[in-house]
Amino acid sequence: MQNYDIGKELKKIYQTDKKLLENTQVPIMTVSASFKEDLKGLHRQKEKDTGTDIVLSRAHYSMAMGVAVQAWGEKIDPKKAWLVDSTNYVSNQAFRSVIFTHEIGKIIARWPILKSLKDMVDKFGRSKMPILDNVTPPTIYLGSGIKKTILSMHIVTGNILANEGKKVMQMITDPHVRSDYLENAHLPNMRFLVFDEQTKKDFFTLAKKIGKRIPENQIKDKVIVTGPPIDPRIVAYNQTKQVWTKDRPLKICLTTGGLGTNKLEIKSILKQLLPVLKQQAGGQKTDLVPTQLVLYAGTHKDHLDMAIDIAKENNLAYHIISPKDPAHFRINAKLKDDMALIDNRFSIIYHPQIVDANELIIQKAFPFADLFISKPSGDKAYDAVVSGSALLTLKEWGEWEYNVREVFEKNGTAQVARVNDIVAQLIEITGNNEATFKTDKLNSANRPVPNIKTEGQKSWLEQAMINSKHLDPIFYKGAKNILKAVKENN
């Protein structure tokens, strides 16, 4: 750490995180966001709750946190597991590149016309992004003294640590394998965890295609099927969530992603739906059942402002859910489980910091929603359906998201959102209309269609929520299986 400037406040935390990783049962490392203020609070330093975090990916944070929570139980216990994000410890000078990467990502996420640039980046390889050079020094420092198997929740950390000779369990965080996952697949100290059997097959198919030779004696144990890494608090909501019926309001959560993805689609949906909510608020009868809407704006103030503007255009009252410090994490402190009901017709979940924004969606949105409208990502889609909700999918932002979409279409829990006709679609899926079961689906022979039965004359929404409670058990046990695999590899 010689001549490595990260500021006096963080230097002590940096050294503490290194020691905690070395002494914990399950060391977890990722690259997702810079949440320095919440780090200070976690380590009992004074924190400011107003700064905006640099968020590269909600998924690589939330999935890592989900496994940590599974290990911790009710209290944050560094002896059981410890989670560190190398992004927090990028040097002050190099952090300008992180900010630049973040700003480019936000621009592309908001303007679909620029998505071709994103596709070029994905094809070129995420491991060659500028962020790799920036997080390499802190990742090497943090991992240097770890003797146990490290659970890596981002391929960048996994490849860096495997090259350093560390034992790595690399989570492939979508049901999709990119070539950068295979960079160090030949090393005996690197193994992989995947969502399902098909992804395991895809792993070896891609290895053969690109000429990556994995020694014969490693093949049997190289890839373990665990299921998705979902926070156990989200899994628990599946058991208590009641299937929607026409005698109560329809509860919808519309969400953006870590970089503010699908903004134009979200705007279109708000423009159509908020006028109907205003009519309902005024006592007018509408074809759509009484509805409550929550927008998850994440850490993005432009999404918050957009939603407020549209609500004001329609003279619709709105409520912003943004408490000062909803996470309020402390070592050995009990995790919050705030399931207070959302009573407002239109609410917006927003917090400028990812740790708090993630806690808000877990504590508020997942227990609330009958239906999520979200892009089909490895975190949001899996979290939504496993929480007991149905899913309407927004535009895919990468080829891996077609795989996610296919998984839930075949499970009978998702269909594509008709973004330009959303109110009519909501009317259809809440009515007893058999036509809503006959939607266009991705048809791949790779992932088999599960044996899910329909139950009489139910709406599509009711049936989808019933189906979400009868998925393959591996959907609900991913975090447990991941911890088991890591501990058995020590």
CATH number attached to the domain at 232-472: 3.40.50.2000
* 119 pLDDT higher than 60: no
Three-state secondary structure along the chain?
A: CCCCCCCHHHHHHHHHHHHHHHHCCCEEEECCEECHHHHHHHCCCCCCCCCCCEECCHHHHHHHHHHHHHHHCCECCCCCCEEEEHHHHCCCCCHHHHHHHHHHHHHHHHCHHHHHHHHHHHHHCHHHCCHHHHHHHHHHHHHCCCCCCEEECCHHHHHHHHHCCCCEEEECCCCCCCHHHHCCCCCCCEEEEECCHHHHHHHHHHHHHCCCCCCHHHHHHHEEECCCCCCHHHHHHHHHCCCCCCCCCEEEEEECCCCCCCHHHHHHHHHHHHHHHHHHHCCCCCCCCCEEEEEEEECCHHHHHHHHHHHHHCCCCCEEECCCCCCCCCCCCECCCCCCCCCCCEEEEECCCHHHHHHHHHHHHHHHCCEEEECCCCCHHHHHHHCCCEEEECCCCCHHHHHHHHHHHHCCCEEECCHHHHHHHHHHHCCCCHHHHCCCCCCCCCCCCCCCCCCCCCCHHHHHHHHHCCCCHHHCCHHHHHHHHHHHCC
Closest CA to 229 of 6, 30, 399: 30
Where is pLDDT greater, at 56 or 244?
Answer: 244
Closest CA to 61 of 349, 485, 359: 359
Tokens of 176: 């999709």
Low-confidence winner among 60-74, 218-232, 339-353 (lowest mean pLDDT): 339-353
pLDDT score of 117? 54
pLDDT score of 366? 96
Q: What is the rounded CA–CA span in Å between residue 198 and residue 178?
A: 14
CB 262 within 8 A of CB 377: no
Q: What is the rounded CA–CA span in Å between residue 52 and residue 50?
A: 7
pLDDT score of 111? 67
For the chain, report the end-to-end CA distance as a whole number of angstroms.
28
Torsion angle, alpha carbons of 357, 358, 360, 362, to 10: 170
Q: How many residues are recorded in the chain?
A: 490
Domain ranges of the chain: 8-230+479-488, 232-472
pLDDT score of 112? 64
Tokens of 289: 């059942």
Categorize the per-residue pLDDT at 439 as very low, low, confident or very high, splitting at 50, 70 and 90: low
Average pLDDT of the residues of the chain: 90
Mean pLDDT, range 13-34, rounded to an integer: 96
CB 60 within 8 A of CB 32: yes
Where is pLDDT greater, at 151 or 37?
Answer: 151
Where is pLDDT greater, at 112 or 367?
Answer: 367
pLDDT score of 487? 95
Residue 97, exposed/middle/buried by CB under 10 A (0-12, 13-18, 19+)? middle
Share of the chain above pLDDT 90, in %: 72
* Angle, alpha carbons 10-152-2 (nearest 5°): 35
* 264 pLDDT higher than 60: yes
pTM summary value: 0.92
* Angle, alpha carbons 180-185-188 (nearest 5°): 150
* 3 pLDDT higher than 60: no
Where is pLDDT greater, at 454 or 288?
Answer: 288
Share of the chain above pLDDT 70, in %: 90
pLDDT tens digits for range 76-87: 999 999 999 999
* 93 pLDDT higher than 70: yes
> How many other β-carbons are positioned within 10 Å of the β-carbon of residue 363?
22
